[in-house]
Amino acid sequence: MALEEKREKRPPVTPMMIEEEAALRNGSRGLPPGPWAEAAGPRPRTTERHIAVHKRLVLGFAVSILALLAVTMIAVLLSVRFEECGAAADGPPRAGGNGSLSGAARQPPGAEQPPGQSEEEARGGEAAEEEEEEEEEWQRRRELPPWARPRLPRHLRPLHYNLMLSAFMENFTFSGEVNVQLEVRNASRYIVLHAHRMHIEAVRVAEDKLAGGVRVARTFFYPQTQVFVVVLNRSLEVQRSYNLKIIYNALIENELLGFFRSSYVLHGERRFLGVTQFSPTHARKAFPCFDEPIYKATFKISIRHQATYLSLSNMPVETSVFEEDGWVTDHFSQTPLMSTYYLAWAVCNFTYRETVTKSGVVVRLYARPDAIRRGSGDYALNITRRLIEFYEDYFKVPYSLPKLDLLAVPKHPYAAMENWGLSVFVEQRILLDPSISSILYLLDVTMVIVHELCHQWFGDLVTPVWWEDVWLKEGFAHYFEFVGTDYLYPGWNMEKQRFLTDVLHEVMLLDGLASSHPVSQEVQQASDIDRVFDWIAYKKGAALIRMLANFMGHSVFQMGLQDYLTIHKYGNAARNDLWNTLSKALKRVGKSVNIQEVMDQWTLQMGYPVITILGNETTDNIIVISQERFVYDSDAKPKDPARGDNSYLWQIPLTIAVGNTSHISSEAIIWVSNKSEHHRIPALEEASWLLGNINQTGYFRVNYDIRNWRLLINQLTRNHEVISVSNRAGLIDDAFNLARAGYLPQNIPLEIMRYLSEEKDFLPWHAASRALYPLDKLLDRTENYNIFNEYILRQVASMYLKLGWPTNNLNKSLVQASYQHEELRREVIMLACSFGNKHCHQQAATLISDWISSNRNRIPLNVRDIVYCTGVSLMDEDVWEFIWMKFHSTTAVSEKKILLEALTCSDDRNLLNRLLNLSLNSEVVLDQDAIDVIIHVARNPHGRDLAWKFFREKWKILNARYGEALFMNSKLVSGVTEFLNTEGELRELKNFIKSYEGGAAVSFSRAVETVEANVRWQRLYKEELFQWLRKSLTQ
C-alpha cells in the first residue's frame, strides 16, 4: 500500500499527540513532563518489622526527617528544571519537546490546546483577566495595544536568527527552536512578533553575554493580527541586545503556503517532500519572526531530517552531522541581510545536475529523479548560468551568494518563487523535454526563469520597504523577462515587439476599468497585501519602466539602475529612492528632468490617458492634442467619487511622426501636460497622416479624427511597411479598444483588419488575434454570430493558404531560426480553426485520427494544442476519452498541460460537467491546475453557464483552497465572469455577491464593472456592428 493510503487511515496529528509520543519515549508513561514524573514509579511495600522501633526514636528523628525531605524535594525540583532547560537549549529539537522554559503559550480560539490543560485553564483565566485589564488601559490611553496594530511596533529590531528545525516526514510535523538576537530601540516590556498556526512550547528571554534572564510574565497569541506576544516583568533597556528563544512545533500542511508538503509517484510508489512558500506573509507559519520586509536580518539554519532525504536552504551546507538512528542534521552557512519572506528550505528525495558560472557561482537544478535522468532540467540549467552572467554584466553588481539552486516541485501556488539562493518552480514552468515541447512552451519556461533570476537583484538584494511598492521588484522582473530573453535569442525582438501584445495591450484592458487602482497603493494591514499582487503591479509596472527607459535613453537608464542597486544592496528602498537615483543619472549627461514629478503621476494615479490628435483645418501645420482618462464604461461609478475622470492629468512623453504613401519622418517628442494644447507640426501636408506614440513606448492610447484614421487605413492597404511593425500592432489594438469603449465607430477596427492578408509579420497578427478574442466572446452566443464568423474567415483565408501547415518536426532543433515565421503560421492556423475553416478542421481531425489508430503522435509540436482542442470539439466522446487517458499516462509536464486544456474544448455539456467536478479532486488534477480547467470551460460558449453555475455552487470550497494564495482567487473570479454579457447574468452576479462569504471583494467589484460594460456594449453597439458586417459581406 502506498504511503499516502496508509496515512489516510491515521487520525490527524495534534500537538497533544506529539507531546504524548515524546513522553512515552522518555519513559514517563504519558504523564505531563515535570519533576513529579520521576516520583510516579512503584515503591517498595513497608512491613511491620520496619516500623517496630522505639517511640522515642520516632519523636527524635521526626523533625529532622521532615526537614531533610523538604530540602531534598527543593533540590530535586531545581535540578530537574535545570536539566530540562539545558536539554532544550543544547539538544536538537524533537516533536513534542518539553515546555519548561516558560510554559506553553495560550492558544488562539479554535486552536488545539497544549498538554497539562488543567493547569493551563487555571492560569489561562488569570492571564485572560490580565490581558483584558491591559487592553482597557490602552483604551483609556486612546491607543491600540501594540499587538492589535496592523504593523509591528518599531521598538525592537531583529539582528540575527538561529533557527533549528526537525522535519518528521512520516507524520508531516516539524519542531523548531528559534533564537532571535534583538536590538532595543525604545524601552518596552512587550515583545510582539508574528506567529501563526503553531504550538509554542516554551519561551525564554535573556540579555546577551550576561548570566540570568528576563522573567516572562505571560505569553499569548493575538490571531487578528497573527502575532505572538511575550509580556515581560520589566522593560527591555534601550541600546541593549537580548536573545529571544522560542521552542515550538507545527504541521507540514497539505496546502500551498508556509511549510507545506507535496508528492509525486516514482516506480509506483508515492514519495513526499516538504517545501516552503513564505511570500508575502507566510514565514510566520513556519517560525516565529518579524515578518515584514523592513526587518532584514541574517539567518543561520539547521535542518534535522531522516538520512533518506536531503535538505536545501538559501545557503550551502556547511557541515552535516550523522546520527546512529538514521537521522542527519545539515547546518547551513549564514545568510546575508535578508527579509523573512525570501527565506526558504526544502526536504526531499530529489537528485540534481550542476553547472558553474564564470564567476564561480554553483548552479544546481533539483527535480524528481526520473526528470533529471531524462534531461528535462538541462535547458533551464544552461540558460540560468548564462543569465547570471548577463545580469552581473548589465547591473555591474555580482550575484551575492555562492550558489543558486533551482527546485522543480509538483505542487506550488505560483509559477515560481525567487527565494534568494533557492528559487522554487512548479514543474511545468522549468522542466522541458525538447522532443515534445513547442516554441510557445520553451518561451514560457525561458521567461519565467529570466523573471526569477532578475529578482535575485530586484527583490532579494534590494527589497521594497513595504508592499505598496511591490511593483519595484515585480515590474522590473517582468520588464527584464523581455530584455533577458532578447539576450538569449537576439532575433526574437521580445522587448520591442512581443512586450506590446503580452504586457502593454493586456494590462491596458484591466487598467481601463473605473475600478482599477494605482501601481503604488496604500497597504495598511496584512489583508491588504494580497490585492497589490496583480497585473497592475507586474505588467503596468513593467510598461512604465519601459516608457521611462525610452524617454531617458537606455544607456542612461542602465547607468541609473547600476547606481540604485549599488547604493541600496542588502537593504530596502522605496520608489523615491529610484526616482532620485535616475534623476542624478540624467544630470550626469547634461539633462534635467524631475523623474519623481513625472512618474508620481503615473504611479500614484490609477488608469491611463487617451491622447486625441485633431488636425486644425483652418491653420496650417497646427494640431490640437488633448488628454483624458480612458475608461471602457463611462457610466461606471468611479472608485473615488470625489474625483471625477476629468481631474486626471499626466505628463505624457508623446512621440509623433508625419508620414505619406512612401515615407515617414523621424520622430519628435512633445511633453503633453495640459488637458488641451496646440502644437505646430512642420511639413504637415494635406495628404499626410500623423502617427503618435512611435513604437508604442508610451503607456497610453492614441485616437485621431476620422480623416486621419482613413489616411492610416489607406496607408496600411497600399504599403503597410512604411509604418513600423510595432505601430501596425498598436494601431490594431488601439482601434479595437477605442471602438469597444465608444470613442470610435465599430467598423474602423474591422476595416483596418483587411490589410492583414498582406501582412507577413507575426506581431500585427498576434495583436489582431488578441483584440478579436474579447469581441468574439461578446458575440459567440448571439443569433447573428455567423456573420461575424464569416467576416473573420475571409480575412484569414488567403494567409492560411499561403502558409499551410508545419511538417512533423520531432527530429529538428526545438529553437528554430524561423521563430517569427513559425509563430505567424501558428497564429493563422489558430484563427482558422477557431472560426471554422473547413480545411483546418479536416486537417486537425486527420491528425487526431492518425494518432489514435497508430498510437504514435505525429502532430507538429507547435500546433499540438490547437489540434487537440479542435479534435475534441469536432469529434465524438471516444476522442475525449482518448485525450483523458493520455493526460493520465504522460509524464511530460508540457504535454500534460495542453492535454488538460484540450478536454475543456468539448461541445458535450455532460463531459464539461464531468471535468468540472473532477477538477476539485487533487489526485486527478493538481490544485494549481484546477483554476485553469474552470476558466477554460467558462471560455467555451457551450460551457460558460456551466462554469458560472459550478463556481457559485463550489465557492466555499474554492475560496478555502485558494483564498490566501496571491492571484488565484482574482484569476478565478475574473476568468469565470469576464465574458458574461446578458442582463440575467449581471443580476446573478450581483445577487451572488450579496450572499457569498469570503474575500475577493476587489475582484468581484471589478467583475461587476466588466459585466456591466459587456451588457452596455451589447445594448449600444452590437447592432451597429452587425449592420456594417452585413453591408461589407454583400459588397
145-175 pLDDT per residue, tens? 999 999 999 999 999 999 999 999 999 999 9
- Per-residue pLDDT tens over the stretch 541-579: 999 999 999 999 999 999 999 999 999 999 999 999 999
β-pairing, 652-659 vs 689-692, is: antiparallel
Please work out, in degrees rounded to the nearest 5, the angle formed at the alpha carbon of residue 368 by the alpha carbons of 366 and 370: 120
Q: What are phi and psi of 756, to 5 degrees?
A: -60, -20
Task: Say yes or no to pLDDT of 642 above 90.
Answer: no
> pTM value?
0.86
Task: Say yes or no to pLDDT of 413 above 90.
Answer: no
Q: Rounded CA gap, 529 and 257, in Å?
A: 15
Angle at which helices 819-834 and 838-854 cross, to 10°: 100
Q: What are phi and psi of 466, to 5 degrees?
A: -150, 170
Average pLDDT over residues 438-458: 96
Query: pLDDT grade, residue 256 (50/70/90)?
Result: confident
Average pLDDT over residues 2-24: 34
Written as one string, the DSSP assignment of 724-759 is -HHHHHHHHHHHHHHHHTTSS-THHHHHHGGGGGG-
- Per-residue pLDDT tens over the stretch 999-1028: 678 889 999 999 999 999 999 999 999 999
Q: Rounded CA gap, 573 and 63, in Å?
A: 72
Would you put residue 598 in left (φ > 0), alpha (ψ -120 to 50) or beta?
alpha
HSE (CB half, 13 Å, CA atoms) of 14? 10
Query: pLDDT grade, residue 436 (50/70/90)?
Result: confident
> Would you say 1017 and 995 are in contact if contact means Cβ atoms under 8 Å apart?
no
pLDDT of residue 524: 84
Written as one string, the DSSP assignment of 71-103 is HHHHHHHHHHHHHHHHHHHHSPP-TT---TTT-
Task: Say yes or no to pLDDT of 961 above 90.
Answer: no
User: What Cα–Cα distance (Å) separates residue 903 from each residue in 279, 872, 940, 976?
Assistant: 33, 7, 11, 17
Task: Say yes or no to pLDDT of 711 above 60.
Answer: yes
- Per-residue pLDDT tens over the stretch 35-84: 233 323 333 333 333 333 334 433 444 444 455 555 445 444 444 333 33
Written as one string, the DSSP assignment of 789-852 is HHHHHHHHHHHHHHH-PPPP-TTS-SS-TTHHHHHHHHHHHHHHHHTT-HHHHHHHHHHHHHHH
For residues 218 and 959, the model is more confident at 218
Three-state DSSP at 278 gives coil
pLDDT of residue 127: 57
Task: Say yes or no to pLDDT of 101 above 90.
Answer: no
pLDDT of residue 927: 84
Positions annotated as catalytic residues are 452
β-pairing, 403-409 vs 422-426, is: parallel
For residues 78 and 909, the model is more confident at 909
Query: pLDDT grade, residue 329 (50/70/90)?
Result: very high
Q: Rounded CA gap, 934 and 414, in Å?
A: 17
Average pLDDT over residues 911-932: 92
Mapping DSSP onto H, E and C, the string for 758-769 reads HCCCHHHHHHHH
Name the residue among 214, 33, 236 with its Cα closest to residue 115.
Answer: 33
Q: What is the mean pLDDT of the chain?
A: 87
pLDDT of residue 1002: 83
> Would you say 118 and 355 are in contact if contact means Cβ atoms under 8 Å apart?
no
> Would you say 945 and 979 are in contact if contact means Cβ atoms under 8 Å apart?
no
Name the residue among 97, 258, 85, 105 with its Cα closest to residue 175.
Answer: 97
> Would you say 346 and 276 are in contact if contact means Cβ atoms under 8 Å apart?
yes
> Would you say 345 and 304 are in contact if contact means Cβ atoms under 8 Å apart?
no
Question: H or E segment at 200?
Answer: strand 199-207
Place of cell 516514482: 266
State the greatest distance between any 2 C-alpha atoms of the chain, in Å, as a whole number: 134
Three-state DSSP at 177 gives strand
pLDDT of residue 6: 31
Q: Count other Cβ atoms within 10 Å, centred on residue 1007.
A: 24
Q: What are phi and psi of 985, to 5 degrees?
A: -70, -35
Q: Count other Cβ atoms within 10 Å, centred on residue 891.
A: 14
Q: Residues 6 or more apart from 746 whose CB is under 8 A from it?
A: 739, 1021, 1024, 1025, 1028
User: What Cα–Cα distance (Å) separates residue 288 from each residue in 192, 197, 213?
Assistant: 10, 10, 20
- Per-residue pLDDT tens over the stretch 647-686: 899 999 999 999 999 999 999 999 999 999 999 998 788 8
Q: Rounded CA gap, 28 and 480, in Å?
A: 60
DSSP state of 495: I
Q: How far is CA 467 from the centre of its chain?
A: 14
Q: Rounded CA gap, 292 and 281, in Å?
A: 8
pLDDT of residue 176: 98
Q: Poorest-confidence range of 601-615, 811-825, 986-1000?
A: 811-825
> Would you say 299 and 335 are in contact if contact means Cβ atoms under 8 Å apart?
yes
* DSSP E strands, 378-480: 403-409, 416-417, 422-426, 462-464
Please work out, in degrees rounded to the nearest 5, the angle formed at the alpha carbon of residue 896 by the alpha carbons of 351 and 852: 125
Query: pLDDT grade, residue 388 (50/70/90)?
Result: very high
Q: Count other Cβ atoms within 10 Å, centred on residue 823.
A: 21
Task: For residue 410, say if its preceding peptide bond is cis, omega within 30 degrees of 0.
Answer: no
Total residue count of the chain as it appears in this document: 1035
β-pairing, 462-464 vs 571-573, is: parallel
For residues 477 and 807, the model is more confident at 477
